[in-house]
Structure 1
Amino acid sequence: ETLARHDSLYGDAEKVSGDRRHGSGVSWRQTVLLAFQSIGVVYGDLGTSPLYTYSGTFPGGIRHPDDILGVLSLILYTLILLPLLKYVFIVLYANDNGDGGTFALYSLISRYAKIRMIPNQQAEDASVSNYSIPEPSSQTRRAQWVKQRLESSKAARIALFTVTILGTSMVMGDGSLTPAISVLSAVSGIREKAPNLTQLQVVWISVAILFLLFSVQRFGTDKVGYSFAPIILVWFVLIAGIGAYNLAAHDATVLRALNPMYIVDYFRRNGKQAWLSLGGVVLCTTGTEAMFADLGHFNIKAIQLSFSFIIFPSVALCYMGQASYLHKFPQDVADTFYKSIPAAMFWPTFIVAILAAIIASQAMLSGAFAILSKALSLGCFPRVQVVHTSKKYAGQVYIPEINFLVGAASIVVTLAFQTTTNIGNAYGICVVMVFSITTHLMTVVMLLVWKKNIAFIAAFYVVFGATEMLYLTSILSKFAEGGYLPFCFSLVLMALMATWHYVHVCRYWYELDRIVPAAKLAALLGRPDVRRVPGVGLLYSELVQGVPPVFPRLVDKMPSVHAVFVFMSIKNLPIPRVAAAERFIFRRVGPAEHRMFRCVARYGYTDQIEAAKDFSDSLLDGLKLFVHEEAAFSCSQHTDDNDGDGALRAAQAAAAEEEKRTC
């Protein structure tokens, strides 16, 4: 039987206003502080890309002086198009209550269309205040059509899930390659002042730095961000200053590259070689996905503020300065960054470059931790320990096992490839694949959730999709030269995630098909050998309805049942957080004399399950409240059906007795 409920589920949305740290309630002071922190966590990878972009674009040297202008123009407009326009001003707004990444997009879509593989959706879930969203209007035919197609097509649901875990796998691959290429490229600069140092010695120095980097992750993003932010800010000031110096000292006419016609001329002049060089150009965008993946650590305004006013101008000025230097010294393209540094500034820049490379690695590690914590809560990854490293910001997490695996992978990659050129061939594939996956998921969000004008959606998909496809085809040409590495890594991770999720779904369906009928439950409890013992019993199950098939087996082995028995389920909703007041929902199982209940504890994918004592206390408080309100409801129903004070007093006494027996 289904009883009407008047419990904490129906709390209004204002109860979570303090929990939504990414909303309009964040002050400008907090935003500026978060923007400062984000410099130390998010942008290290973008900031260190000038260390290797030009060498990756011109591996065989510069053929024509104007090729420098063509590549500079490509770099500038790629930075404007992808990080600035696409991510900072469009993609960041597709966050899931403040959290970003591919799984956040997937969970956002799954709230508007029932695409999850496990059939544990309940009508009450949509009443959770963080879950409360306007249903797609019946007048919005396109959104309804997309919704119906996704819900009715198993192939579409599987394809969407596959694309999501592919994006997650690629971010993980990116997280293992970023430390290798960033640290190795920074340390390689020492050979400018110590030419007798061998490449193998440079590699081992890089490995030592990587080991230190992964060792400090346990201290958390909050502490790491505060320590790294001043350093990376100094780095951006340095590269901007060096860029301005090179423009003034060598050839300021490279500013002509702001004219996109130089891109057209570059392709006309070089043909296929220009297309192949795009695999190097795209390295200027490395770390862009971290802005979205790390959004749970910060907020939209903080990311927009820091990128628009500090990161973009500094990086653009650095690339223009390098182009100015190369216009005069094209033979130095293999080591443009360190060759272009004024002699007096070499050692300070070298030291900060190494520190910035460490920070670059931090950006992708933070994103990898955040994304995998979402995958865990959605049943798409084996259970591992998730450590929440900040009491203020729930999105700041650390996963020890993943930290170890990614750290080991980075060290192995560094030892195996030994040069930034070889690592760059693998690196670009991860970057562009994640871009492309985000574009496709964003298109679904625009159709289904935002319900934007079809012309805007088409323009978004064509412009960004075509650009990313052009870069992807170029970088795939280097598959045999190291590009296979991220594919192999991602396929292994995808297989792990898909297998885990498949078994998770199969187990759920197995239990669902074998739930205990009401008649069998009554007969089981009515057996003379089954005793009711004092206390409250809990039986955990994945099911959110019915009696799990393991219960009769339990009673057969141990013929006793607690005086109050609760069938308990832990359920993860596709939202970041569930307010504590809305955590539990209860139902009776069978008639009142059974004193058996079904309880579902709901968590968002950034929520942390409480300690055992706190959890049990909250559960019992919720159960008492449910019984009390159920008794009050029964009392009011009895009053409606019977006239007179005597009937009312009798109903109240009966309700109080039932509450006393249960609690």
Structure 2
Amino acid sequence: MASSDSDHHTDQEVVNGGQLKDRKVSWAKLARVDSLNLEAGKVSSTPENHNSTADWKTVLSLAFQSVGVIYGDIGTSPLYVFASTFTDKIGHKDDILGVLSLIIYTIILVPMTKYVFIVLWANNNGDGGAFALYSLLCRYAKVSLIPNQEPEDRELSHYSLDIPSNHIRRAQRIRHSLEKSKFAKFFLVFLAILGTSMVIGDGVLTPCISVLSAVSGIKPLGQEAVVGISVAILVALFCAQRFGTDKVGYTFAPAICIWFMFISGIGLYNLFKYDVSVLRAFNPKYLINYFQRNGKKGWISLGGVFLCITGSEAMFADLGHFSVRSIQISFSCLVFPALLSAYSGQAAYLSKFPENVSNTFYDSLPDPLYWPTFVVAVAAAIIASQAMISGTFSIVAQAQSIGCFPRVKVVHTSPKHGGQVYIPELNYFLMIACVIVILSFKTTEKLGHAYGIAVVSAEIITTHMVTLVMLVIWKTRIWWITLFYGTYLFIESTYFSAQLTKFTQGGYLPIAFSVVLVIIMGTWHYVQKLRYQFELSNKVSSEYIRDLANNPDIKRVRGIGLLYSELVQGIPPIFHHFVSNIPSVHSVIVLVSIKSIPISKVALQERFLFRHVEPREYKVFRCVVRLGYKDQLGDTANFENQLVEQLNKFIRHEHYILAAQEQVLAERETEPASGQLVPGRSSKVHIEEDLQQQVDSRISTSTRSIQSVHTPTAQSNRSSSRTQMVPPNASGQEEMQFVEKAKEQGVFYLLAEAEVVAKKDSSFVKKAFVNYGYNFLRKNFRQGEKVMAIPQTRLLRVGMTYEV
């Protein structure tokens, strides 16, 4: 419970069960319950629709849909893996078996074991990716750099796991160490930013290598023609993004299913036609012999082998569209056997025609199937590109909501799937980048050198963050954690070291992308943190509002004024600055803070948290609007209606509390003083606790009645619920009518436009990041009113300079 300092000074001492009316002032301490906490208590326990408890018909339907969205990248890898591995020629026939053995065990260990059966369970209420893992950790430990966390935010989480009690202490020690370590907080956000940067780099390179490898199958055309056709396809693909992932992806989804049937059938055909003995590659001794025979050359060739699992990260990043069980079924039953058949068939073909390694896939096709396969391959390559493009949009939207990316326009393209978004600025940036990359590299071999570094870097980051989830959240046995971390760190580090040998041949490209993106995202997040801390340390005191209410020079203007700021705990300093320059305020003032919650969606009834700012008659409210990283404010009219509706519910609920308090106090005043005291406890504490229990009981009953009226699932009980409810008193009705009248008079937006500058005594590096880097990003990306769709005719910007 929150109480002001004045409450403590005005409390009267209670001795030996004295008169209750002498304790009315002390009752104020009980009455001053933080309304944010009261509102936050009304949260639903309905889990999100991402778990594995859905009926099998739904699961199988999602499994079929996932084939067309997730697996385009890993499914088109057979187009170029052998060509990227044997860049010169095949030196020894058994090298084919060694590479096939590497491919088989890489697919088994990484996408199958790591992602399908382990990483997918480390989801954040059904969503995956680097920022989803970071948000999950932030919810279980106070490791966010921006200190705007509230205890009630945890109640929005539906994440639950069975926790072995004998591992709780270890998890608590690690959590406390993370919370105390400034380095750990910076390192975690750096990992999330770096992982996101690598996935964006993957989003640039995936369309290039997929489309180029598919088009290169046109035999009569030269290299320049192949490049030109690839560029034309990519430009058309990016221009179609504005129609949304739902329309673009699902239009070609059947092509992926046909593609997997083609590659598995062709693989089995080649396997039995040329050399079924290549199945000996399931024996890992061929893998060992390959490295013994080739040494350093074999190690370098791992850069090409790794391309067989590109797209594994997409299974986790795109999890929000589907469910864990549906992805497990689709990969295990269709994708995994199809890939093994395709690679085994190509190995069998190469055992007879090792000179055709540069174009293995198309050369191994039976002549009647050449053109049908080519058409399906191009369609599959487009889908592979689409998966990573839409994934890039999704993770940038997540990064922006957490304060790690400058403001961009996020368009939700599907009413059914909240995670399907389109970002125009990012779309055209990706298109230009893809065209430049294809014109520069021209061949899949050179692109493969750049492609692998981005993918393996993202997978290494995922391994580290999932290990932390195991330690802090899952509380898994330490030997399982050690086995997971040691195995995958060794595998992925080995592949990463092999990719680095091709740094000068194109591997520098994703590193360059990542450096630029890390600087942009890191600068934005760092200064946002400093800005929030400045507002927190300079927030307006409650005494200032009381003085304002008693100041006759301050005029009240008709309508509702919404003052936006990022401060969650208290009144922002921009409010004082606004009143000092324009000595007038609207008849109703709502101090709105848009807060990002580290889950995907927040239900409407849980989205708005209100609190009265004393004095009540001045009609000033604090409002925290909690949004998940897939939520949007919506259009202006809809947002205004939702805010006023939820504000009236809050006023109604608050007056129920006051009525319950008055009723309990009146009942206690009529009761004779018992004089019975609890041993070792003052009568003041005993009586106040007893009163509070009765008030809580009545508030709970009223709250259930209110919720039963406003809950859609309780339509049949509305009439009976209304009869149980006591209408709010006259002052409550008047306050709600006052708010409604103010809304009819107009809603006006006051937007804080703070210029952030470094202090004069700051270091040169800090001045460079704050004064130049951050302000450049702020001026060249979208402004706040455009992101929140605020109408210009009702907008007033309030400028202020923050020295951080």
TM-score, normalisation: structure 1? 0.95
How big is the shift at 1:458?
0.3
Q: Which residue of 1 aligns with 2:33?
A: 3
1:163 matches 2:194: no
Partner of 1:207: 231
| The one of 253, 275, 298 aligned to 2:299 | 275
Q: Which amino acid aligns with 1:87?
A: Y
**In terms of mean alpha carbon deviation, does 510-519 or 145-154 score higher?**
510-519
Superposed displacement of residue 374, structure 1: 0.9
1:21-60 CA-partner distances (Å, limit 9, x unpaired): 2124533222222222221211111111111100111111
Q: Which one of the candidate residues 31, 44, 67 is aligned to 2:72?
A: 44
What is the rounded CA distance, in whole Å, between the counterparts of 2:493 and 2:663 in structure 1?
69
176, 199, 202: which one aligns with 1:174:
202
Structure 1 SS opposite 2:76: helix
2:588–2:620 Cα contact (<8 Å) kept: yes
2-side partners of 1:132 and 1:453: how far apart? Answer: 18
1:40-91, Cα deviation, whole Å (9 max, x unpaired)? 2111111111111001111111111000000000001100100100001111
CA distance in 1, matches of 2:174, 2:457: 24
- Pairing 1:239-638 to 2, within 5 Å after superposition: 239-638=263-662
Amino acid at match of 1:631: H
Q: Which of 54, 77, 96 is equivalent to 2:82?
A: 54
Distance 2:158 2:278 in 1: 51
Task: Please state how far the C-alpha of 1:347 moved relative to its aligned partner.
Answer: 1.2
| 8 Å contact kept, 2:356–2:363 | yes
- The answer to whether the 8 Å contact 2:125/2:157 transfers is no
Shift of 1:482: 0.6
Most deviating of 475-484 and 116-125: 116-125
Separation in structure 2 between the aligned mates of residue 323 and residue 403 of structure 1, nearest angstrom: 38
Describe the SS at the equivalent of 2:409: coil
* Equivalent position amino acid for 1:640 in 2: V
Q: SS of the residue aligned with 2:252?
A: helix
Separation in 1, partners of 2:159, 2:314: 25
CA distance in 2: counterparts of 1:24 and 1:170, whole angstroms: 29
Bigger CA drift: 605-614 or 573-582? 605-614
Structure 1 residue 558: Cα displacement? 2.2
Task: Render the CA deviation track for 1:100-153: whole Å, top value 9, x for unaligned.
Answer: 111111111111111111111112212235478899979611111110111000
State the structure with more CA Rg.
Answer: 2
Give the superposition deviation at 1:239: 0.9
Could you tell me which amino acid in structure 1 is paired with residue 598 of structure 2? P
Instruction: Indicate how the Cα distance of structure 1 residues 568 and 503 shifts in structure 2: closer, same or farther if over 3 A, else same.
Output: same
Alpha-carbon shift at residue 431 of structure 1 (Å): 1.1
Q: Structure 1 54/544 Cα, relative in aligned 2: closer, same or farther at 3 Å? A: same
**Secondary structure class of the residue paired with 1:80:** helix
Q: Report if the CA contact (8 A) 1:10-1:128 is conserved.
A: no
Distance 1:643 1:358 in 2: 73
Instruction: After TM superposition, give the deviation of residue 169 of structure 1 in Å.
Output: 0.4
- Determine helix, strand or coil for the equivalent of 1:482: helix
Residues 425-470 of structure 1 show CA distances to partners (whole Å, capped at 9, x for unaligned) of 0001011111110000010000001100000000000111100011
Where in structure 1 are there 5+ consecutive unaligned residues? none
The structure whose RCO (Cα within 8 Å, separation 6+) is larger is 1
SS in structure 2 of the partner of residue 429 of structure 1: helix
Instruction: Quote the offset at 1:505 in angstroms.
Output: 1.3
Compare 537-546 and 483-492 and name the one that shifted more.
537-546
Give the drift of 1:661: 5.8
Q: Secondary structure at the match of 1:642?
A: helix
2:95 is the counterpart of 1:67: yes
User: Given the superposition, is the C-alpha separation of residues 646 and 404 from structure 1 closer, same or farther in structure 2, using an over 3 Å criterion?
Assistant: farther
User: What do residues 299-351 of structure 1 show as CA deviations (whole Å, max 9, x unaligned)?
Assistant: 21221111111111111101000000110111111111111111121111111
- Is the aligned partner of 1:143 residue 2:143? no
1:7-156 to structure 2, matched below 5 A, reads 7-14=38-45, 16-17=46-47, 20-24=48-52, 26-128=54-156, 130=158, 140-156=168-184
How far 1:563 moved relative to its partner? 2.2
Partner Cα separation in structure 1 for residue 367 and residue 650 of structure 2: 74
Say which SS state the counterpart of residue 394 (structure 1) adopts: coil
Amino acid at match of 2:586: H
Contact 1:51-1:186 at 8 Å conserved across structures: yes
Offset at residue 635 of structure 1 (A):
2.1
- 1:7 deviates by 4.9
Q: Do the aligned partners of residues 132 and 262 (structure 1) sit closer, same or farther apart at CA in structure 2, a change above 3 Å counting?
A: closer
Q: Which moved more, 1:116-125 or 1:50-59?
A: 116-125
CA distance, structure 2, for counterparts of residue 653 and residue 230 of structure 1: 63
2:401 touches 2:629 (CA, 8 Å); kept in 1?
Answer: yes
The separation in 2 between residues aligned to 1:571 and 1:411, in whole angstroms, is 38
Structure 2 letter corresponding to 1:288? S
Q: TM-score, normalised by structure 2?
A: 0.78
Q: Is contact 1:635–1:655 with CA below 8 Å preserved after alignment?
A: no
Instruction: List alignment gaps of at least 5 residues for structure 2.
Output: 4-31, 672-725, 741-804
Deviates more, 1:597-606 or 1:34-43: 34-43
Q: Structure 1 357/624 Cα, relative in aligned 2: closer, same or farther at 3 Å?
A: same
SS in structure 1 of the partner of residue 562 of structure 2 = strand
CA deviation digits over 1:522-562, x for unaligned, max 9?
Answer: 22332221122333221111111222112122223322222
- Where 1:626 maps in the other structure, the secondary structure is helix
AA matched with 1:152? K
The SS at the match of 1:62 is coil
- One-letter amino acid matched to 2:98: G
Does the 8 Å contact 2:456/2:496 carry over to 1?
Answer: yes
Cα pair 1:92 1:300 within 8 Å, conserved: yes
Residue 99 of structure 1 aligns with an amino acid whose one-letter code is D
Q: 1:136 to 1:385 in 2, by over 3 A?
A: farther
Q: Distance in 2 between matches of 1:132 and 1:548?
A: 36
Q: Quick one: distance in 2 between partners of 1:516 and 1:404?
A: 43
Query: Per-residue deviation at 1:653?
Result: 5.5
- Distance (Å, rounded) in 2 between the aligned partners of 1:4 and 1:559: 29
**Aligned AA (2:582):** M
